[in-house]
Structure 1
Amino acid sequence: MVKLNSGYDIPELGFGVYQVDPADTAELVYSALKVGYRHIDTAQFYGNEYETAQGILKWLKEGHGKRSDVFLTTKVRSPEGYDEVVESINGSLQKIEGLEYLDLILLHSPMTNKEKRLGSWKAFQEFNEKGLIKSIGVSNYGNHHIKELQDWEGLRVLPAVNQIELHPWNQRPNEVKYDRSLGIEIQAWSPLTQGKKFDDPQLLKLSKKYNKTPAQVLIKWSLQLGNIVLVKSSTQARQLENLQVDDFELSKEELESFKDEYLLTSPWWDPITYQG
């Protein structure tokens, strides 16, 4: 568990449902909970918030645990200003009806303008204060976006997390250092590079040394560096495999052995650098 600046604990390894067909989402989330995940990550943009909630509700109704056992995150599609985000959050809360609250909500992207970003954060703070959302955060925010919040006279709550693309070939040292200096935790999306680096010689060397899959080595790399990690798999066997990373440890030299190439798994955009 990682303690957020909101005071709440978040499981350090989460299960994401990006690009999961809504028709398959409920069963996939249910399966992930059955094998041991307790942190589920969805988003308005993914189009499967309702189905994600249904998978959690099925697990709860079968008596496998209680609501507080599951950490649920969603993301507002775009920070389009106070009124729009209030409506947007209410829509998400309706889709997860039966789960009572969201553990974490994020602004999915900074790609709008300062007025709308700050208005959106105002809405986030109000829902947080009402207890409908336990923690609030951002995604794909650069240091200048965080500084914009810091300098805002209406700021009452700093983000609990910043969810960014992060893996050995895109290590984001400036963002990681700055966010952590403020007590903002780092969540890594695309930690497995969508498989694009599974044939990397150094990764294969470590995979062979520890008798682990490339995915397990990448998960361990990120966890050892203190990141909260989001993974995805469409099979129960792979879901379980990705959880099995507690029986080996990478050395300091191995953690530092990868070359940071600024690899973007979505190379057509990098919102962290957005200046609007």
Structure 2
Amino acid sequence: MGKNDTRVLTAGIEIPYVGLGTYLIANDDAAAVVRAALGVGFRHVDTAEFYGNEEGVGAGIRQALEAHGLSRKDVFVTTKLWPGNAAWGQTPKTTETTIASLDESLARLGLEYVDLYLIHAPFDHEQRLAQWRGLVELKRQGKARAIGVSNFDVAHIEELVGAGLPLPDANQIELHPWSQKPALVRYLAEKGITPIAYSSLVPLSTWRIAEGHDSAKTAEMRATGERADSPFKAMAAKYGVSEAQVLLRWAIQMGYPVLPKSTKPERMRQNADLFSFRIDDQDMAAIAKMDRGDGVAWPMGDPTKAA
């Protein structure tokens, strides 16, 4: 991946278009996976307090920096605040505990700062503004170079606007051809907020099968991905790439950084090789008609619909 394979956030820093997603990677496995990903050319790693693997991710980053002669500024690191969800019996974070949470994440990562710190989801209406004030302060302190949100819809961001607070630099949301969120994406563009796509590979029949992870994906959706004549199989054959590469390339052409997860170096290389082909206008237009509405990655429903 080269210098042109980045997007500039409103904070003025570059985010690589291709990042390693680490959700469902165990802490004990994370160091080796992250080290391998950085070894094949990834320069962007995404983790979260909720994933329980920050310690392993940080170890892998430090090992890769030493092994490949990289400096800390060569790797873009994202982690996320788990805001707490009262509906799940958790205590929502305050401004003070938000600040403490990043300090704890940095200790686990073994880093002095992260490049991007996100609120993981808009769970608690009473504490969302308090948590965002915590992120604003962490950015002021230099512990987060950029700050943002995840799974926020227009109304959640408008709360920040109404309170006179700074806008997020990014919003990490489920985005793929079956969940394109056009109204939200238009709003983010108007506000200069970068959409970061997760669960980009939902349309694949094999998505999350290995992990046995629950989701709202239906049997009909899975069958669609298995069809021999599925549109993504046809596009993969047309461009001489994998179906996963087609789905990831679509996101990049839409302007969305992506976070594919893999523990296999060969698959990592494929996931990183997204700049040697381009989806033509006819196929992009066809994909634009495939939107099915809400996301499916969360079994309880699309979290952008939280109150």
Q: TM-score, normalised by structure 1?
A: 0.95
Residues in 2 aligned to 1:214 and 1:266: alpha-carbon distance in whole angstroms: 22
State the distance in 2 between where 1:267 and 1:167 align. 17
1:61 aligns with 2:69: no
Q: How many angstroms apart in 1 are the aligned matches of 2:240 and 2:171?
A: 32
Matches within 5 A, 1:160-171: 160-171=169-180
Report how far residue 81 of structure 1 moved: 2.0
Secondary structure of 1:248's match?
coil
CA distance in 1, matches of 2:247, 2:67: 33
Secondary structure, in 3 states, of the residue corresponding to 2:99? helix
**1:10 and 2:15 are equivalent in the alignment:** yes
Q: CA deviation at 1:84?
A: 2.0
Name the aligned partner's letter for residue 175 of structure 1: L
Question: Structure 1 residues 194 and 59, CA, compared in 2 at 3 Å: closer, same or farther?
Answer: farther
Q: For residue 219 of structure 2, what is the aligned residue in structure 1? A: none
The answer to whether structure 1 residue 120 and structure 2 residue 131 are counterparts is yes
Match among 90, 100, 124 for residue 87 of structure 1: 100
- The 5-angstrom pairing of residues 99-138 of structure 1 reads 99-113=111-125, 115-138=126-149
Report what 2:213 is aligned to: none
Cα distance in structure 2, aligned partners of 1:63 and 1:215: 27
Whole-Å separation in 2 of the counterparts to 1:89 and 1:144 = 25
For 1:69 and 1:180, how far apart are their aligned partners in 2? 27
**Counterpart for residue 212 of structure 2:** none
CA shift in 2, pair 1:89/1:194, >3 Å = farther
Tell me the amino acid that sits aligned with residue 271 of structure 1. Answer: P
Amino acid aligned to 1:180: A
Counterpart among 58, 75, 81 of residue 76 in structure 1:
81
Q: Which runs of 5+ in 1 are unaligned?
A: none
Paired residues of 2:55 and 2:109 also in contact (CA < 8 A): yes
2:136–2:147 Cα contact (<8 Å) kept:
yes
Q: 1:250 — aligned with what?
A: 279
TM-score by length of 2: 0.85
> CA shift at 1:83, angstroms?
2.1
Tell me, yes or no, if the aligned pair for 2:245 and 2:270 is still in contact at 8 Å.
yes
What SS does structure 1 have at the residue aligned with 2:127?
Answer: helix
CA distance in 2, matches of 1:22, 1:64: 24
- In structure 2, what is the equivalent of residue 46 of structure 1? 51
User: Is the Cα contact below 8 Å between 1:194 and 1:265 reproduced in 2?
Assistant: no
1:94 shift after superposition: 1.2
Note the aligned Cα RMSD (angstroms).
1.4
Identity over aligned pairs, percent: 37
From 155, 162, 186, give the equivalent of 1:144: 155
SS state at 2:117 partner: strand
SS in 2 for 1:228: coil
**Structure 2 unmatched runs, 5+:** 1-5, 85-92, 206-221
2:121 is matched by which residue type in structure 1?
S
Which of 292, 296, 302 aligns to 1:261? It is 292
SS in 2 for 1:246: coil
Partner of 1:239: 268
Aligned residues: 271
